[in-house]
Amino acid sequence: MSQAKHIVIFGAGQIAELAAFYFEHDSGRSVQAFVVDGEFKKEDSFQGRPVVALEEVDREWPAADCDAFVAVSYSKLNSVRADKVQAMRARGYALASYVSSRATTFPGFAPGENAFILEDNTIQPFVRIGANVTLWSGNHIGHHSVIEDDVFIASHVVVSGNCRIGARSFIGVNATLRDGVTVGARSVIGMGAAITADCPEESVFPGPKSEAAKIPSSKLRSI
């Protein structure tokens, strides 16, 4: 079996730092450089590796020798990350995916390109995950569910069986989707929200919010 290609990572922030760590320590892929748009290049190195402008990356680390990974957040409903995936693809790069060795998956699971699936995700049989999807740690993705392209799911989200999450949506920490629910494209499901019925495109569910008590903790008698 041929050795996997090296990787260049688009991004030079905390997510890029994490992606480099995961790829090198849990997939055996060697990260060669970080990539940023030329106008935003402020430093020549990041975490001990070169930082190179997007406009020049293929000269120093050509696509024949390296795959790419785009390590960008859910900014502007994931459209920034999607645009950078397109930019790297246009330069000829294949987009790598990372699936943690500590995630639970089953035979036949094959996420789309530029997936970032971290530890303790449980992905049940017959789940389909599109391109450019991030699953932060600790989620449950129920059987026969579909996650469309360019989605970001934070930690400890429960997606019950046979759900569909539309493209470019964001699902916040501890949100819950009941079985069979469809979330329309470009929706924002806030932290702790409980979705019990289908919701249309561009829906926003802020989720519950706790208000601070009017007394300090020192006045609590039961603790």
Amino acid 110 reads A
**Mean pLDDT across 1-28:** 90
Exposed, middle or buried, 28 (CB in 10 Å: 0-12/13-18/19+)? exposed
Looking at the predicted structure, is the pLDDT value of residue 178 above 60? yes
Q: How far apart are CA 26 and CA 118, in angstroms?
A: 10
Identify whether the C-beta of residue 91 lies closer than 8 Å to the C-beta of residue 10: no
pLDDT of residue 209: 83
Order the strands of the 122-123 sheet from edge to edge. 122-123, 140-141, 158-159, 176-177, 194-195
List, for residues 59-106, the tens digit of each pLDDT value: 999 999 999 999 999 999 999 999 999 999 999 999 999 999 999 999
Say how far apart CA 139 and CA 112 lie, in whole Å.
18
- Percentage of the residues of the chain whose pLDDT score is greater than 90: 89
pLDDT in the model for residue 213 = 81
**DSSP string spanning 78-109?**
THHHHHHHHHHHHTTPPBP-EE-TTSB--TT-
Q: What is the mean pLDDT of residues 2-10?
A: 84
pLDDT band, very low/low/confident/very high, at 220 (cuts 50, 70, 90): confident
* pLDDT classification of 156: cutoffs 50, 70, 90: very high
Q: What is the mean pLDDT of the chain?
A: 95
Band of residue 2 on the pLDDT scale cut at 50, 70, 90 = very low
Q: Pull the structure tokens for residue 163.
A: 């759900």
Write out pLDDT tens, residues 110-123: 999 999 999 999 99
CATH architecture type of domain 6-96: 3-Layer(aba) Sandwich (3.40)
Is there a shared CATH topology between the 6-96 domain and the 97-201 domain?
no
Residue 9 structure tokens: 């990572």
97-201: what CATH class? mainly beta
Average pLDDT of the segment spanning 1-23: 90
Confidence of residue 153 (pLDDT cuts 50, 70, 90): very high
Residue 1 has pLDDT above 60, yes or no: no
CA dist 106 and 149 (Å) reads 21
Domain boundaries, the chain: 6-96, 97-201
Q: Kindly state the DSSP code that residue 180 receives in the 8-state scheme.
A: T
- Per-residue tokens: 111: 């996420």
